[in-house]
Structure 1
Amino acid sequence: MEMLWSVVVGVFVASGIYLMLERHLLRVLFGLIQLSSAVNLAIFNAGRLTVGNPPLIDGDAVLPHVDAANPLPQALILTAIVIGFGLLVFTLVLFYRAYQETQSADIDEMKYSEEQA
């Protein structure tokens, strides 16, 4: 199962980087979102994917079951989602401000309009 999710993460990273190399600002933003999701999936995949074994410790045990999922990657993903949302909003505001200044969402046209000004 982990191998399948590793391939999915690779496809997400490749398509996210491809989108970030585009000239249109919205595609760059979508690539950033997709790359952030790929990193979250990679962290989640690293924490073992198990079905039906919660990461809980029994009352008389010292360690969780061997087949239990690791709770640390899940906590890291929750933190990464919050940080990713903040980055997304900040980038969206920057792109909107750049669009207001240049009246274009094309990166090459923004560069040329800046040189003409």
Structure 2
Amino acid sequence: MTAFVLALVVGALFALGTFLLLRRDLIRVVWGLAIVGQAANVYLLAMGGLTEGDFETVPILAGHGVDVPATADPLVQALVLTAIVISFGMTAFALVLSYRVYEEHDTLDVSELGDRE
């Protein structure tokens, strides 16, 4: 059941991001790109998590008589955390560029931006 919910969330995020990417407003395109990036992060976290029958233990504590719970792969979590920080910076940069486009052209409509010389 949990895998179905995660698949539904990832699919909804990709669908919403794609919908926003196809809009004419430049701000919505930037938000669509950010949502697609977050959907990819959720997908990676879902695939790198625990599965049934997966009993990896923490290597430092294993064998010291401590009851250690199973853990997820920390590499995936570190990569996703790095991707979140980078995508935040890129989204901020894209929003600043969008503001600059608005100052220069007085519009954020992508179809009108292509017609100007």
Does the TM-score normalized on the shorter chain lie above 0.5? yes
1:98 partner amino acid: V
Q: CA RMSD in A?
A: 2.4
**Superposition deviation, residue 28 in structure 1:** 0.6
Could you tell me whether the CA contact under 8 Å between 1:55 and 1:71 is conserved in 2? no
Percent identity between the two aligned chains: 39
Greater shift in the superposed pair: 89-98 or 65-74 = 65-74
Q: Which residue of 2 aligns with 1:84?
A: 87
Length-normalised TM-score, structure 1? 0.80
How does 1:11-30 map onto structure 2 within 5 Å?
11-30=12-31
**Residue ranges of structure 2 left out of the alignment (5+ in a row):** none
Partner SS, residue 68 of structure 1: coil
In structure 2, the CA distance between the partners of 1:102 and 1:55, relative to structure 1 (3 Å rule), is farther
CA contact 1:44–1:77 (8 Å) conserved in 2: yes
> What count of residue pairs does the alignment treat as equivalent?
109
CA deviation string 1:20-53 (max 9, x = no partner): 1100011111111111110110111011247xx9
TM-score using structure 2 length: 0.80
Q: 2:77 corresponds to which letter in structure 1? A: Q
Q: Which amino acid aligns with 1:56?
A: V
